Structure 1
Amino acid sequence: MTEALRKRVWARRLTLAAAVLSFGGIAAALLGAVGSGQGVWHFRTGFVILRYAFFATIAGGLIALAALLLVRRYGLHGLTRLNLVALIVSVVFVTYLGHQVRVSRQVPAIHDVSTNLDDVPSFYRLHVRQDNYADIPDLGRPPLARLTPRERWKAVHRMAYGDIRTISLPLSVSDTIDRAAALANERGWEVVTIDKVNGILEAVATSRFFRFKDNIVIRVRKGPEGEAVVDMRSLSRVGISDIGVNAKRIRAFLADMQEAKQG
């Protein structure tokens, strides 16, 4: 076998390896997420699968890059597209997961977010998990470490999500609950409680792949000037960190409620 022929064979092998690792990594990630969502295995097992899928996809992208150099040099143009697709898949997937990891490091490892920390909205049909304040980080700060878990949660919450606050709307309590229910339905949340008399709406938001469920409560009270005073709480049922999902949800929801005010 000549040297040129040997390198062509290696170009084909590398192309196959790139495709298997890149596409296989995506398939494994989906399998890990869907399996967790369907209860086939624990979500932590799904995360382990996701981590290995991440590394496999990185390897696939690097191999695809090397294979591209070979197939172009030896005129194997039929393999160019496959390597390009494998490389693009790798870059997109790794960029997406890398962004998630970066966000997770920028937000505190808490999973319960509320607009009102001094009078936190209570759940009625839904529940607060028993270990809700079990693993609140102290951020390496002795003053935080000395606080009770609940007070430490409040302190960390204020530092990270100080912009999330109660809002007021020039609407009745009943109309505000109606607006909140409409927005919840638009988002595909499962609404489990609508109580216009007590100004309570409860709902469950479910993530797409892992099927993580977050409990949500919206509390509406009549203010001193007849306005609707709106508080919201979003809490993850499992996990220590929510990667900022609950805060993002509250910000977006209340922004839409504010648009109703302007409309």
Structure 2
Amino acid sequence: MNNNGSTRLASLRRDPKGWLVALLGVGAPLAYLVAAGGSGIGLWGWQAGLSAIPWIVLAAVAALLVAIAFIVLDRRKGRKTRWPLMGLGMAATLGFLVYLAPYGNALLTLPAIHDVTTDLADPPRFTVLSLRDDNWDKIPGADDSDMAGMNPRQRWATLHQDAYPDIRSARIDQPVAVVIEKAKRLAEDRGWEIASIEPASGKLEATDTYSLFRFKDDIVVRARAAENGSASIIDVRSVSRVGLHDVGTNAKRVRDFLSDLSGTTTTASQ
């Protein structure tokens, strides 16, 4: 190693502030990968993995605040900030926080529900797959004066309508059997596990496994004949198997699936 290389290495070794920021900044996303990945492969439960995330986020924010404090202190004392480790830690932190930002926004702005459907009055029913036993437990709004007297399903429907007014039944100018076969191909393209398909009766059930946590959501697609069988009214329902808040995942899945299924979706009247 030449003298310049040795000097740079020695400089890095004498940079405790940079090492602290790098350790926190790089360690936070790595800890997230461990927490989520460990849950996904069954080393610990999903609750344990999720419960670690607030602490991991706190470490990431601390890395950023500490870095800013060190930079301000260096400027006040007229010192040059050593950037290699400091910059690495800040870049890792910012990237990690940007990645998590949509989830944080969803937690703050969307209701804590996990069951999304295009038909609130008559949601498609699972027959092969099972709706989770606690599906209607802990629906928010029990203490909300605006929803006084409502049962859990009514509160769910109210919250759902307010959060996702655009998610509605769709009309497609194709017969039921054709639509269900197309739905099957789209489900397979998405990597969903098909549990049941009944083209003649207009039903498809499947499971989507996603994220590092390996969460599983169950989906049912229902097609009903319209216009003497030349068209179909399509409804989709997507339900998380675990958790109370789906951070908008089910709604996005329903929107994307209907968009691909129908091309240009014609919204059906409710």
Report the TM-score range of the alignment, normalised by the length of the smaller protein.
Answer: 0.7 to 0.9
Aligned to 1:243: 247
Does residue 220 in structure 1 map to residue 232 in structure 2? no
Q: Is 2:87 the partner of 1:88?
A: no
Tell me which residue corresponds to 2:5: none
Q: Deviations over 1:188-216 (max 9, x none)?
A: 21122121121111111112211111000
Q: Distance in 1 between matches of 2:51 and 2:154?
A: 33
String of CA shifts for 1:227-254, please: whole Å, max 9, x gaps.
Answer: 1111100000011111111111111111
Alignment check: 8 A CA contact 1:67 1:83 kept: no
Matches within 5 A, 1:66-105: 66-67=69-70, 70=74, 79-105=82-108
TM-score (norm 2): 0.85
Which of 218, 232, 237 is 2:236 aligned to?
Answer: 232
Counterpart of 1:5?
A: none
26-35 vs 41-50, which deviates more? 41-50
- Pairwise CA distance, 1:184: 1.3
Structure 2 match to 1:166: 169
TM-align CA RMSD: 2.5
**CA distance, structure 1, for counterparts of residue 87 and residue 52 of structure 2:** 25
Aligned to 1:131: 134
Q: Give me the whole-angstrom Cα distance separating, in 2, the residues matched to 1:152 and 1:241.
A: 15
Q: Shift of the alpha carbon at 1:32?
A: 0.6
Asked if 2 retains the 8 angstrom alpha-carbon contact of 1:11 and 1:67, the reply is: no
Partner of 1:4: none
- Counterpart CA distance in 1 for 2:126 and 2:21 is 50
Q: Is the 8 A contact 2:170 2:265 kept in 1?
A: no
Distance in 1 of aligned mates of 2:165 and 2:66: 45
Please give the secondary structure, in 2, of the residue aligned with 1:125: coil
Q: What is the DSSP-based 3-state SS (H/G/I as helix, E as strand, rest coil) of the residue aligned with 1:54?
A: helix
Aligned to 2:198: 195
> Could you tell me how far apart the structure 2 residues matched to 1:247 and 1:31 are?
27
* Number of equivalences: 253
Q: Distance in 2 between matches of 1:49 and 1:99?
A: 18
- Indicate if the aligned counterparts of 1:170 and 1:261 stay in contact, CA closer than 8 A: no
CA offset digits 1:57-94 (Å, max 9, x no partner): 122223334555649x6567xx5233212111111212
Distance 1:60 1:11, change over 3 A: farther
**In the TM superposition, what is the alpha-carbon distance from 1:134 to its structure 2 partner?**
0.6
* SS, match of residue 15 in structure 2: helix
TM-score by structure 1 length? 0.87
Q: Which residue of 2 aligns with 1:109?
A: 112
User: Is the Cα–Cα contact under 8 Å of residues 208 and 216 in structure 2 kept in the other structure?
Assistant: yes
Instruction: Return the offset for 1:223.
Output: 1.1
C-alpha distance in structure 2 between counterparts of 1:245 and 1:75, whole Å = 45
